């Protein structure tokens, strides 16, 4: 059966191979939320690697390897982020065709990283004269991980549905507190390469035993790591109320509905006291300088009188053209409102990249260019716990959240015991963006060992507990309040201390060992 599959793959034309990779990449959408069928991630990637690692007369050129990997990436990213077309068309005012072209431009550009990884693997294999087994197990996972890392950090980053996120529900989740989501990308590629090698190489008897053993060992280690509690409960649990206003995006910034939004959130906040009450991102769809003069003072009075902490999503105006996407916190413990400013901004939605102002002028997104603050900001004390906010897109960048916790630990300051995400995904309608974003928050919980509160406009408003389980979740597209008791956690996971260095170190080590093996062969 393996020989038949190998023969079929080797007989495909360039065009047929490209279409196969395009489809295989697109199937990745099934490995992420809301489907959670994570084996698809490994199997589909193994199909790509089986092409890159072909040996002998069936080996492919570096150019073809890169071309097939680019097609795989294009299918993967386009299928997983197709909801961007909805936002650009419905709320950005772009024609549907132009929105689709813009998406394809983005996903095609991001797929270049994966193409470079495949091209580089073939180049190093030929240059160092190493076997496909060495290239597949040592070089390809490393370069694949570097490609995913570039998606995280290059040009502000767009790491949505990098491969590691598929494993919030798989045995590999046990590795997340140690090497983070990027490390899961490396493990995912290692397992895919092992399967690909069984498919396309004439394995020796030893390799036929060793490759399946490697897969079993990785999964077994993941199961074992899931038994380790890296953090532990701290203090008393707090009562939280997470508000989901379900304000339609086409009404949110409509002038005639502004007062309705102000009244809605005033009433939802003051309905019942709690230790912590949180609104979604930009729940108040205007700048602080535009609010009625008594609006914030009235909420502050409620917080003072009821011993509640209110965290409010609002655009803060600092004068002139300076405004930020922020959350303000009001409580008895603070003489002045606590403030957290979003610092990792979304290109085109929250800041305009150089040379693209013409493109943004074609869209009609309000408050489209925000000021930024530093990446390290303090947590807010709430009834004996310390809550560290992040706003919408920021929880895609786990290393930045880990860096904030690490800096608090290094400075001897109170380390945040609860994470908080305030979001508004109404831009993307009833799409996969909502469950995918929830899955991203689950990964942050796995990495840090701390609970995550999510207060969103249309979903997913949730409480995620250490271990990554969603303990409570509001139905999407409903107006409701999630009330829960949440326990804070203390402790430092390895990932908090080393961030993405663990995954990048594994990648570098593998490539270095492959280099040494290549030198040994030459001698």
Q: Pick the catalytic residue from 148, 281, 399, 447.
A: 281
DSSP string, 74-138: HHHHHHHTTHHHHIIIIIT---HHHHHHHHHHHHHHHHHHHHHHHHHHHHHHHHHT--HHHIIII
**H-run or E-run covering 192:** helix 176-200
3-state secondary structure of 12: coil
Q: Taking Cα atoms as reference points, which of 223, 66, 227 lies closest to residue 147?
A: 66
Judge whether 3 counts as a catalytic residue. no
Are 414 and 507 a contacting pair, CB within 8 Å?
A: no
Q: Which residues have CB under 8 Å from 124's CB, separation 6+?
A: 130, 135, 139, 511, 514
Angle at 197 between CA 194 and CA 198, to 5 degrees: 90
User: Quick check: is 129 catalytic?
Assistant: no
Catalytic residue among 185, 342, 399, 400: 342
Q: Say whether 342 is catalytic.
A: yes
Mutual orientation of helices 176-200 and 205-225 as an angle, nearest 10°? Answer: 160
Q: How far is CA 414 from the centre of its chain?
A: 26
As a whole number of angstroms, the longest Cα–Cα distance in the chain is 80
List the beta bridge partners of residue 480.
244
Active-site residue, from 80, 148, 350, 392: 392
Residue keyed to tokens 């549907």: 96
CA distances 320 to 68, 316, 317, 323, 344, Å, are: 50, 12, 8, 8, 21
Q: Which residues are catalytic?
A: 281, 342, 392
């Amino acid at each position: 059966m393996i020989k038949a599959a190998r023969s079929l793959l080797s007989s495909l034309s360039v065009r047929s191979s490209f279409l196969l990779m395009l489809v295989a990449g697109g199937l990745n959408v099934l490995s992420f939320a809301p489907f959670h069928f994570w084996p698809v991630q490994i199997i589909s990637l193994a199909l790509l690697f089986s092409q890159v690692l072909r040996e002998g007369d069936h080996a492919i050129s570096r150019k073809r390897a890169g071309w097939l990997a680019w097609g795989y990436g294009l299918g993967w990213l386009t299928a997983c982020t197709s909801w961007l077309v909805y936002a650009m068309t419905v709320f950005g005012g772009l024609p549907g065709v132009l929105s689709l072209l813009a998406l394809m431009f983005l996903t095609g550009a991001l797929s270049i990283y994966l193409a470079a990884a495949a091209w580089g693997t073939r180049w190093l294999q030929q240059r160092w004269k190493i076997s496909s087994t060495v290239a597949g197990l040592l070089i390809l996972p490393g370069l694949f991980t570097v490609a995913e890392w570039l998606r995280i950090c290059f040009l502000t980053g767009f790491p949505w549905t990098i491969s590691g996120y598929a494993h919030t529900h798989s045995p590999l989740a046990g590795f997340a507190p140690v090497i983070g989501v990027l490390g899961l990308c490396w493990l995912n590629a290692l397992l895919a390469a092992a399967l690909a090698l069984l498919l396309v190489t004439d394995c020796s008897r030893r390799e036929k035993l060793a490759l399946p053993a490697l897969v079993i060992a990785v999964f077994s280690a993941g199961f074992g790591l899931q038994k380790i509690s890296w953090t532990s409960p701290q203090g008393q649990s707090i009562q939280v109320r997470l508000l989901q206003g379900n304000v339609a995006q086409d009404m949110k910034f409509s002038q005639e509905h502004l007062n309705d939004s102000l009244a809605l959130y005033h009433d939802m906040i003051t309905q019942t006291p709690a230790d912590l009450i949180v609104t979604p991102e930009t729940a108040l769809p205007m700048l602080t300088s535009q609010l009625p003069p008594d609006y914030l003072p009235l909420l502050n009075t409620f917080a003072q009188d009821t011993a509640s902490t209110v965290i409010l999503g609002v655009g803060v105006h600092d004068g002139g053209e300076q405004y930020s996407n922020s959350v303000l916190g009001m409580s008895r413990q603070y003489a002045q409102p606590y403030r957290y400013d979003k610092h990792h901004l979304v290109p085109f939605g929250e800041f305009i990249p150089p040379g693209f102002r013409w493109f943004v002028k074609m869209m009609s997104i309000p408050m489209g260019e925000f000021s930024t603050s530093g990446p390290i900001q303090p947590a807010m004390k709430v009834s004996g716990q310390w809550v560290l906010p992040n706003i919408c897109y920021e929880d895609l960048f786990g290393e930045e959240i880990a860096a904030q916790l690490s800096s608090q630990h290094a400075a001897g300051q109170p380390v945040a015991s609860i994470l908080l995400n305030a979001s508004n995904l109404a831009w993307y309608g009833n799409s996969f963006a909502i469950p995918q974003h929830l899955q991203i928050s689950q990964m942050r919980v796995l990495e840090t060992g701390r609970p995550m509160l999510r207060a969103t406009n249309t979903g997913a408003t949730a409480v995620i507990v250490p271990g990554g389980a969603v303990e409570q979740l509001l139905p999407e597209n409903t107006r409701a309040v999630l009330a829960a008791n949440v326990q804070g956690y203390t402790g430092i996971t390895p990932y908090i201390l080393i961030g993405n260095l663990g995954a990048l170190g594994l990648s570098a080590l593998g490539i270095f060992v492959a280099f040494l093996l290549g030198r040994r062969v030459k001698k």
